[in-house]
């Protein structure tokens, strides 16, 4: 079964199916996938594989027919049916011919071969040339189809991004939103700071493995457009996008604490998850929802922390612990 499936699905087809599935997952799937995988890299890999298929297809000459036994068509042509005689391969010039052999003498074989010579030459020469041309143009055609698939998927992503992404917002809307984020960050940093949404991807993003970046004690921070968009949706459209919103609040608070001067990542994150409640409330969430989102982030931090120990909040990050910003309260965060 597996072999059959492999035959039905050539590597090139498998690649294209995988690419389509991945792009659909990237567009409609969880935000984590979008923020973790740079889609341009995926397209470059796909393009490289398509090129590889093309080059190896152009290099490999059409393989000779592997089955040396007479084909049914030959049997038919030379008039021998399946069950009867033994068949022997006779070399004739530079050609090999199968003849039925039932104990004939050499002379009788010669006669048989003469018979074969009398067969009219079939008009298969032009067909063979046509086949040859088709063979050499097929890899190029397959490559062009592959390019087409990549192009169409790229357009689909561009279309979705330009209508739903941070970039799709009007410039003055973005300016207004960024000012709002900066105000919130300034409250935490306890000094005027500026938040930038890194549309060019120069400072933050999947390549840098970060949703935000700030210099410790500095006066500005960069967030990814995805984080900015989630904050915008909450603040300006009253839209809650589940744990994405929680993550966005935690990220802007995290960078603000760095700007305030905290350098230790675990401590910064612990403070951020507590300040995130206040930012969330100020951007339109109920206190209950804001706390719930930050608790969820705290739980996820423990899960994520196994992979990146640096960002794991310390044990003191608990109600009444050394890092509790509000020791008087019994709620945490
Ligand atoms: Zn940090």
Band (pLDDT 50/70/90 cuts) for residue 177 is very high
| Residue 269 CA, ligand 1 centroid: distance in Å | 7
Check if the beta carbon of residue 313 is closer than 8 Å to that of residue 305: yes
Q: Say how many C-beta atoms besides its own lie within 10 A of residue 138's C-beta.
A: 12
Band (pLDDT 50/70/90 cuts) for residue 288 is very high
CA dihedral 56, 61, 65, 66 (to 10 degrees): -50
Mean pLDDT value of segment 239-264:
94
Q: What percent of the chain has pLDDT over 70?
A: 72
| Residue 247 CA, ligand 1 centroid: distance in Å | 13
| Residue 285 CA, ligand 1 centroid: distance in Å | 24
Mean pLDDT value of segment 162-181:
91
Bridge partners, residue 220, by sequence: 194
| Residue 58 CA, ligand 1 centroid: distance in Å | 50
| Residue 261 CA, ligand 1 centroid: distance in Å | 11
| Residue 256 CA, ligand 1 centroid: distance in Å | 10
Question: In this predicted structure, what is the pLDDT of residue 59?
Answer: 86
Question: In this predicted structure, what is the pLDDT of residue 157?
Answer: 85
d(CA 265, CA 269): 6
Residue 63 has pLDDT above 80, yes or no: no
| Residue 262 CA, ligand 1 centroid: distance in Å | 9
Residue 293 has pLDDT above 80, yes or no: yes
| Residue 322 CA, ligand 1 centroid: distance in Å | 19
Evaluated on CA atoms 120, 125, 128, 134, the torsion sign reads: negative
Residue 119 has pLDDT above 80, yes or no: no
Q: Give the total residue count for the chain.
A: 333
| Residue 286 CA, ligand 1 centroid: distance in Å | 27
| Residue 213 CA, ligand 1 centroid: distance in Å | 7
Report which of 259, 253, 228 is spatially closest to residue 241, judged by C-alpha positions.
Answer: 228
| Residue 265 CA, ligand 1 centroid: distance in Å | 5
Question: In this predicted structure, what is the pLDDT of residue 38?
Answer: 77
| Residue 4 CA, ligand 1 centroid: distance in Å | 51
- For residue 227 the two structure tokens come to 């984080």
Question: In this predicted structure, what is the pLDDT of residue 34?
Answer: 72
How many helices and strands in the chain, by DSSP H and E?
12, 5
Question: In this predicted structure, what is the pLDDT of residue 268?
Answer: 95
d(CA 184, CA 171): 20
- Least confident range from 124-133, 142-151, 229-238: namely 124-133
| Residue 38 CA, ligand 1 centroid: distance in Å | 21
| Residue 275 CA, ligand 1 centroid: distance in Å | 15
| Residue 6 CA, ligand 1 centroid: distance in Å | 47
Check if the beta carbon of residue 271 is closer than 8 Å to that of residue 325: yes
Residue 66 has pLDDT above 60, yes or no: no
Mean pLDDT value of segment 135-152:
87
Residue 116 has pLDDT above 70, yes or no: no
Q: Terminus-to-terminus CA distance in the chain, angstroms?
A: 55
| Residue 65 CA, ligand 1 centroid: distance in Å | 63
Mean pLDDT value of segment 311-315:
89
Question: In this predicted structure, what is the pLDDT of residue 4?
Answer: 52
| Residue 264 CA, ligand 1 centroid: distance in Å | 8
Residue 51 has pLDDT above 60, yes or no: yes
d(CA 312, CA 303): 9
Residue 299 has pLDDT above 90, yes or no: yes
Q: Residue 180 — left, alpha, or beta (φ > 0 → left; ψ -120 to 50 → alpha)?
A: alpha
Helix (H) / strand (E) element for 97: namely strand 95-101
| Residue 249 CA, ligand 1 centroid: distance in Å | 14
Residue 127 has pLDDT above 60, yes or no: no
Mean pLDDT value of segment 49-65:
79
Question: In this predicted structure, what is the pLDDT of residue 217?
Answer: 96
pTM above 0.75, yes or no: no
| Residue 297 CA, ligand 1 centroid: distance in Å | 15
The whole-chain average pLDDT of the chain stands at: 82
Asked if omega into 333 is within 30° of 0 (cis), the reply is yes
| Residue 258 CA, ligand 1 centroid: distance in Å | 7
Mean pLDDT value of segment 232-250:
93
Residue 171 has pLDDT above 90, yes or no: yes
Helix (H) / strand (E) element for 289: namely helix 287-305
| Residue 255 CA, ligand 1 centroid: distance in Å | 6
Band (pLDDT 50/70/90 cuts) for residue 221 is very high
Mean pLDDT value of segment 149-156:
90
d(CA 14, CA 107): 56
Which DSSP category does 228 fall into? H
- Least confident range from 57-71, 119-133, 290-304, 315-329: namely 119-133
| Residue 229 CA, ligand 1 centroid: distance in Å | 20
| Residue 163 CA, ligand 1 centroid: distance in Å | 31
Band (pLDDT 50/70/90 cuts) for residue 2 is very low
Residue 138 has pLDDT above 80, yes or no: yes
d(CA 212, CA 227): 8
């Amino acid at each position: 079964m597996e072999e059959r499936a492999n035959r039905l699905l050539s590597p090139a087809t498998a690649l294209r199916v995988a690419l389509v599935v991945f792009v659909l997952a990237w567009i409609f799937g969880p935000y984590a996938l979008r923020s973790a995988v740079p889609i341009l890299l995926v397209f470059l890999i796909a393009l490289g594989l398509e090129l590889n298929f093309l080059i190896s297809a152009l290099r490999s000459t059409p393989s000779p027919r592997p089955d040396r036994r007479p084909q049914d068509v030959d049997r038919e042509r030379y008039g021998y049916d399946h069950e009867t005689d033994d068949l022997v391969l006779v070399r004739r010039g530079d050609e090999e011919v199968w003849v039925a052999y039932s104990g004939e003498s050499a002379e009788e074989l010669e006669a048989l071969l003469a018979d074969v010579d009398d067969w009219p030459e079939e008009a298969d020469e032009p067909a063979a040339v046509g086949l040859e041309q088709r063979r050499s143009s097929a890899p190029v055609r397959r490559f062009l189809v592959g390019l087409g698939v990549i192009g169409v998927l790229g357009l689909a992503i561009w279309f979705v991004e330009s209508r739903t992404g941070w970039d799709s917002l009007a410039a003055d809307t973005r300016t207004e939103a960024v000012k709002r984020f900066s105000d919130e960050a300034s409250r935490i940093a306890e000094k005027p700071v500026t938040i930038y949404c890194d549309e060019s991807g120069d400072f933050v993003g999947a390549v840098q493995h970060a949703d935000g970046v700030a210099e410790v004690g500095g006066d500005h921070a960069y967030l990814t457009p995805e984080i900015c968009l989630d904050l915008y949706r909450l603040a300006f459209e009253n839209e809650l996008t589940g744990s994405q919103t929680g993550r966005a609040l935690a990220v802007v608070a995290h960078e603000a604490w760095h700007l305030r001067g905290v350098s230790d990542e675990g401590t910064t994150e612990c403070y951020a998850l507590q300040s995130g409640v206040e930012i969330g409330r100020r951007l339109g969430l109920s206190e209950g929802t804001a706390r719930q989102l930050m608790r969820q982030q705290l739980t996820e931090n423990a899960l994520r922390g196994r992979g990146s120990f640096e960002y794991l909040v310390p044990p003191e990050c608990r109600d009444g612990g050394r890092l509790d910003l509000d020791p008087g309260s019994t709620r945490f965060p």
